[in-house]
Every structure is written in C-alpha cells, then in structure tokens.
Amino acid sequence: MSMAFALKSDGTDDEEFLFERIAGDLHAQGWSVVPNALPIHISFAIFSQLQTSTDDAFAPAGVGRSVDHVIDPSIRRDEISWIEGITQAERDWLQWSDRLRIYLNRRLFLGLFSFESHFAHYRPGAFYRKHVDAFRNQPFKDGTNRVLSVVAYFNPDWLPEHGGELVMYDESGVHSIQSVAPEFGTLVVFLSEDVPHEVKPARRDRFSIAGWYRVNNSINQQIDPPR
Ligand code: OGA
Ligand code: MN
C-alpha cells in the first residue's frame, strides 16, 4: 500500500498539527504566531463576508465592560461587530474556535469555558494603544475573566508600509517580543493577562477577528454575563 492511502485528506491531521503547535508555543512561552493557520475555506468565507458587509454593521469599539464601558478614541479607534453565528462563515469560525478550546483544555488543563469574538475594522489612521485583555487577580473587579486571546487576520498582500502591526510585549510591557503583520491567514494566540500588546496605526483598511476564551465565573446562581 502506498503512503497516500495512510494519509487522511479531510484536514483533521492538519488541524491536530496546528493545535499541537499552538499548545506547545503557549506552554513554552505564553504566545503563538502561526502564518496560514486558519483553514483556507474559513478564511475565504470570512473574507468575502467582510468584503460585502456594510459599515452600519460596525460600531466604534469601547474600553471596559458593562457600566464601565466607554468609547475613548485616544485609546482605540477600531470599529467592531460581535460574531453571533448568523452566517455559515461565522458558524464555521465558531466551531473551529470551539475545537481549539477543547484541544487546549485537554492538553494544557486551561478550563476554558466560553468564547466571545468580534470582527474589527481599523480604518487608515486607526490604532489600539498598548493594553492587556485581562487583569491578573482581578477577575471580579474587571469582570472579564478572559484567559486566552486569539486574533486572526484577513488582509491579503499586507506590506510593511501599511503599518498596522500587532506588537506584543513581555510582562513588564517594556520590551517587545514579537511584531506581527496582519496578513491574510495569520493567527495569534496569547495568554490574556501576560502579554501586553498594541496595534500600530494602519495605513490601509485592516480587518481582523479578535476573540477571547473565558473561564466560568458564575457564582450563587448568577450566570456570568458575556462581554
Ligand atoms: C483587541 C486587540 C489586536 C489586533 O481587540 O483587544 O488587541 O491585532 N486586537 O486586532
Ligand atoms: Mn487586545
């Protein structure tokens, strides 16, 4: 029998290989950057949805949660649209994210419970100042209980002069550890509390999905609210 028959062609081997790489990177250093990571059919379906979506689907992004939520253009200028699984492309993304969640729970015992994600559109000039996605030891104060952040990019032919890099920093927030161009298909995963990061001003329209895996903070029958 030739080797070809021993290989699965449904992509599950590729997916396991990718998830294992992400798990290994997270375990070793707390972040992972993988070019051409998302399955191509999902990337293209999301891309074409973004191409045809209208501006009114997006709203200026805020900072803080619930009653502390404010729009502050000095901190961030992206426009966002939460992903609810309305289209097949969104459902494919959410299902893929859930398979990653289950894999990482099994592999790293992270106890990831739920997932939330939004599209983000950075117009030319838009940025997001250095921040962390969750604050250590303050799960009830800041209310996010975000453990793991994931960002996926949908910008073919992104060039250095287009700016818009995601720059990640060490825990001190002083030394940059990696700068990532938002190129189509690239995926970034990092521990939400441990990796300060910023989005440099983009000089071209820049589309991404940002998502967060959360642990469950429900207490006393009070369901932990999303967002
Ligand atoms: C975020 C964020 C990074 C990016 O939305 O919290 O950091 O590259 N996004 O879009
Ligand atoms: Mn962030």
Q: Over the stretch 92-132, which tens digit does the pLDDT of each residue have?
A: 999 999 999 999 999 999 999 999 999 999 999 999 999 99
Q: Residue 1 — pLDDT band, cuts 50, 70, 90? A: very low
Q: Residue 64 — pLDDT band, cuts 50, 70, 90? A: confident
Cβ neighbours around 164 below 10 Å, total: 23
Chain CA centroid to CA 123, Å: 18
Q: Is 206 in the pocket of ligand 1 (CB under 6 A)?
A: no
Looking at per-residue confidence, does 123 or 66 come out higher?
A: 123
The atom number, within ligand 1, closest to the CA of 149 reads 6
Strand partners, 206: 122
Q: Residue 9 — pLDDT band, cuts 50, 70, 90? A: low
Cα 199 to averaged position of ligand 1 atoms, centre (Å): 7
Architecture category of domain 15-223 in CATH: Sandwich (2.60)
Whole-number percent of the chain with pLDDT over 90: 73
φ/ψ of residue 162, rounded to 5: -80, -5
Q: Is 192 in the pocket of ligand 1 (CB under 6 A)?
A: no
Interacting residues of 61 by C-beta distance below 8 A, sequence separation 6+? 71, 76, 78, 79, 80, 118, 120
Enclosing H/E stretch for 211? strand 206-214
Determine the pLDDT at residue 67.
72
Residue 1 vs residues 4, 6, 12: alpha-carbon distances, Å: 8, 8, 21
Residue 16 exposure: Cα atoms within 13 Å on the Cβ side: 7
Determine the pLDDT at residue 220.
47
Mean pLDDT of 184-211: 97
Q: Is 152 in the pocket of ligand 1 (CB under 6 A)?
A: no
Mean pLDDT of 58-78: 83
Contact 164, 158 (CB under 8 A): yes
Determine the pLDDT at residue 63.
82
Looking at per-residue confidence, does 131 or 216 come out higher?
A: 131
Contact 189, 146 (CB under 8 A): no
pTM: 0.90
Residue with CA closest to ligand 1 atom 5:
210
Strand partners, 114: 214
211, 217, 225, 221: which is closest to 139 by C-alpha?
217
